[in-house]
Amino acid sequence: MGLAWGLSSGGGAGTSPGAKPVKTFTMKGDMKLVLSLHEALQQLSQGGQCMPRHSGPYMDIQEGATVTVYSASGKVVATGALQQGVPSATDCTFPFTASGVPEGEKFYQVEVEHSGRKPVSAQKARQGEVLIELKSG
């Protein structure tokens, strides 16, 4: 029964006759987690690797964490994931990509896990210049 419904449903949005295909792009950017002094020293003592946090508001910020892209109106339009973090003396920067972001918005909102939505201009989103900065501790 589910298979028959799936075949008759037309496969999703944008497939109805006469509908224009929606142009999309891949959003690229970085999520920078600025570390407290204690965390920076701990990171150095553990070989300079971006280590997962075991407590605090950003304990989910690590490789594989979900990146959600919202339209200006708040609708989920794409998802991606954080890649391996790149450490520096004061922070960890996690690159990310989110494919299938529809064009046409004036701005987007980006959220990493449950860190809160951050506005991003459409121009920065299309040019791969997204920077989400969070401060730990």
**What tens digit of pLDDT does each residue of 19-44 get?**
788 899 999 999 998 887 877 777 76
Residue 129: burial class (beta carbons within 10 Å; 0-12, 13-18, 19+): middle
Is the pLDDT reported for residue 57 higher than 90? no
Is the pLDDT reported for residue 54 higher than 80? no
**pLDDT tens digits for 65-89?**
999 999 999 999 999 999 999 988 8
Domain boundaries, the chain: 30-135
DSSP conformation letters of 30-77: EEEEEPPHHHHHHHHHTTS--PPPSSSTTTT-STT-EEEEE-TTS-EE
Residue bearing the bigger pLDDT, 103 or 13: 103
pLDDT value of residue 34: 86
